[in-house]
Amino acid sequence: MAVEGTKAKKKGGWIALWIVLGVAVAATISDGCVGGFYLKDRAPLGTSFVGQSVAGDTRAQVRRLVAEKIASSKILLTGNGKTATMDYRTLGVTADEQRTVDAIMGAKGNNPFAKADFLQKTNIPLQASVDATSLRRAIDSALVGDDVSMKDPSVVYDAARGEFIVTPGRSGQSISLTDVESSVEATFSQPAGTAVVPVTVSPAQPPISNEAAEQAARKANRMLSCRYVISNGSTKTFDVPASAVASWVSAEPDEAAGTVNVTVDRKALDSYMASMLPSKLNQGKQNEVILVTPSGGRIPDVPGVDGLQVSQPSAVAEKVYQALESGRSLTTVAPMKTVDFTVDDKPVPNNFGVANGSPWLQLDLSTQTVTAYRGTTQVATFNVSTGRAGHYTANGTFYVYEKYLSQTMRGPGYVTPDVKWVSYFNDGDAFHGAPWNLTGIATGTPRSHGCANMTVSNAQWIYDFAPLGTKVVVIGTTPSGAVR
């Protein structure tokens, strides 16, 4: 009876265990239930990193563990009667922390049953890679010595010469790379503490020929010799200096392929274009200025010019990158964004009631003179010859609205080329030089078609004195003959 009772109790225990397991699995079927919610953004159950359980850990906890393992990893190298302890970075090992964390967090995919299955064990190694050339150089330097170690040819930029130059390789002593590389890669499954890696040193020839290095130097120098010209489609152009190109270009040996690979640092290129193009190609806008007279007249003073801003430096960087890769020059227009100018209204100068105030002109038809004032201060008076009968110069208050250094004047029955220092103030009436009418100017005889004829030098003085918007007051009565 005792035996039978024991058997019954054992059977009942198994049933209870399966019930518990069933409840646990049911509790993890979806993110909406207790178990599924707990494992959301956490490492799956049954998951470990290099032998250490991370089940249920958050991403931040996993990241800290991975970083700690990488930081504490050391490799003790022994050979050639020497020893050296190095970390991964020194040996040319790239330990990808982000990829390792992602591999741990996604070890069992998105299946809630798999993530909650603690019986299914998964061990994630460190996600890393080895640069064989860097590995060889680091160990040769430590265990062999720079004076007797085998050397690959190198290609480096010489700033003084402005070109890439080749330092030839040489035969010498070196490590057995394949064995060491395999031993280092084996540590990725347990990257903590210090792993001992034996090293064999023997005579060796450079796996990269000098000719391969010369070929790489020619390619790099071809990149330097090309021009990369970028404009904003308007007035500004930027010619990328060769020194900047040299800072993006590098020549890296690849012992496995027996070549020297010329590469362009795309991140450095993008960063350079993002910082330099705006400073070299952007154009500030110039707002239009309109002078407004007391009567509401509007005189264009300063023309408006739209501004330009580089909008996509990365697009330019891509074009430069493609040109570098193909070894050709480039002339291109950067994508630009237009910055619209605005129109600013500005009252014409009107400070006339004080000494040395705003400039203005008084044209006296009776005396055939023009007097320049600054406010109440008289500055200068000049002789003129105004409009004759049928073409009288009108009285009134006007404003200088247009100016020309030189102009061909046309009217009924006349064409006069190369008229100097023209300042219009009322429709077609202007102050200007009239060397053909010096007698009329000297005697004060009205002889023009309505303009105020002056000597060329005096017309220039008025041109310089009276900016756009200068008030012109015409008074008096036109005489029938000479007044002087």
Q: Are residues 229 and 308 in the same domain?
A: yes
Contact partners, residue 23, CB within 8 Å, separation at least 6: none
Quote the pTM value: 0.67
Give the pLDDT of residue 140: 95
Residue finishing a domain among 280, 312, 344: 344
Burial (CB count <10 Å: 0-12, 13-18, 19+), residue 410? exposed
Give the pLDDT of residue 10: 41
Give the pLDDT of residue 113: 85
How does pLDDT run across 101-113, given as a tens digit for each residue? 999 999 998 888 8
Q: Which tokens sit at 145? A: 């010595």
Quick one: CA dihedral 352, 457, 414, 405, positive or negative? negative
If you write DSSP's letter for every residue of 116-134 in order, what string do you get?
Answer: H-TTS-EEEPP-EEE-HHH
Give the pLDDT of residue 62: 97
How does pLDDT run across 222-275, given as a tens digit for each residue? 999 999 999 999 999 999 999 999 999 999 999 989 999 999 999 999 999 999
Q: Are residues 216 and 200 in the same domain?
A: no
If you write DSSP's letter for every residue of 212-244 in order, what string do you get?
Answer: HHHHHHHHHHHHHHS-EEEE-SSS-EEE--HHH
What distance in Å separates the CA atoms of residue 221 and residue 246, rounded to the nearest whole number?
Answer: 9
Q: What percentage of the chain carries pLDDT values higher than 90? A: 86
How does pLDDT run across 148-198, given as a tens digit for each residue? 999 999 999 999 999 999 999 999 999 999 999 999 999 999 887 899 999
Quick one: CA dihedral 35, 37, 43, 44, positive or negative? positive
Number of domains in the chain: 3
How does pLDDT run across 382-428, given as a tens digit for each residue? 999 999 999 999 999 999 999 999 999 998 889 999 999 999 999 99
Tell whether 381 is covered by a domain: yes
Name residue 78's beta-bridge partners. 83, 198
> Could you identify the residue written with the tokens 């918007």?
469
Give the pLDDT of residue 193: 84
Give the pLDDT of residue 112: 84
What distance in Å separates the CA atoms of residue 74 and residue 195, rounded to the nearest whole number?
Answer: 6
Name residue 79's beta-bridge partners. 82
Write phi, then psi, for 38 (nearest 5 degrees): -60, -40
Listed residue (405, 238, 264, 237) closest to 321, CA to CA: 264
Tell whether 4 is covered by a domain: no
115-142 core/surface letters (b: 16 or more CB in 10 A; e: else): bbbeeeebebbbbbebbbbbbbbbbbeb
Give the pLDDT of residue 34: 43
CATH number of domain containing 400: 2.40.440.10
Q: Are residues 233 and 299 in the same domain?
A: yes
What is the pLDDT of the chain when averaged over all its residues? 91
* Coil, strand or helix at 396: strand
Pair 122, 46: CB distance under 8 Å: yes
What distance in Å separates the CA atoms of residue 31 and residue 410, rounded to the nearest whole number?
Answer: 89
If you write DSSP's letter for every residue of 136-159 in order, what string do you get?
Answer: HHHHIIIII-TTTB-B--EEEEET
Is the confidence at residue 360, as pLDDT, over 90?
yes
How does pLDDT run across 429-459, given as a tens digit for each residue? 999 999 999 999 999 999 999 999 999 999 9
Burial (CB count <10 Å: 0-12, 13-18, 19+), residue 222? middle
**Lowest-confidence range among 182-186, 330-334, 461-465, 470-474?**
182-186
For range 366-373, the mean pLDDT: 98
Give the pLDDT of residue 38: 57
First vs last Cα of the chain: how many Å apart?
Answer: 155
| Residue 196 C-alpha from the chain's centroid | 48
Is the confidence at residue 284, as pLDDT, over 80?
yes
Tell whether 103 is covered by a domain: yes
Give the pLDDT of residue 40: 78
Q: Which tokens sit at 432? A: 């200007």
Give the pLDDT of residue 136: 92
Is the confidence at residue 220, as pLDDT, over 50?
yes
Q: Are residues 290 and 172 in the same domain?
A: no
Q: Are residues 40 and 111 in the same domain?
A: yes
Q: Are residues 323 and 362 in the same domain?
A: no
Q: Are residues 148 and 216 in the same domain?
A: no
What distance in Å separates the CA atoms of residue 402 and residue 301, rounded to the nearest whole number?
Answer: 9
For range 119-136, the mean pLDDT: 93
Tell whether 13 is covered by a domain: no
If you write DSSP's letter for every residue of 19-83 in order, what string do you get?
Answer: HHHHHHHHTTSSTTSHHHHHHTTBPPTTEEETTEE-TT-BHHHHHHHHHHHHHTEEEEEEETTEE
Pair 368, 479: CB distance under 8 Å: yes
Q: Are residues 54 and 161 in the same domain?
A: yes
Residue finishing a domain among 287, 316, 344: 344
Strand (E) or helix (H) holding 397: strand 396-399
Query: Quick one: angle between helices 97-105 and 59-71, nearest 10?
Result: 140
Tell whether 25 is covered by a domain: no
Residue finishing a domain among 142, 171, 204: 204
Q: Are residues 268 and 152 in the same domain?
A: no
What distance in Å separates the CA atoms of residue 456 and residue 439, rounded to the nearest whole number?
Answer: 13
Domain containing 279 equals 210-344
Q: Are residues 240 and 301 in the same domain?
A: yes
Tell whether 220 is covered by a domain: yes
Contact partners, residue 163, CB within 8 Å, separation at least 6: 157, 217, 221, 224
Tell whether 261 is covered by a domain: yes
Q: Are residues 359 and 330 in the same domain?
A: no
Q: Are residues 132 and 184 in the same domain?
A: yes
Give the pLDDT of residue 16: 41
CATH number of domain containing 261: 3.10.20.800
What distance in Å separates the CA atoms of residue 377 and residue 373, rounded to the nearest whole number?
Answer: 5
What is the strand order of the sheet 429-433 is part of?
402-411, 414-426, 429-433, 452-454
Tell whether 71 is covered by a domain: yes
Listed residue (83, 164, 178) closest to 136, CA to CA: 178
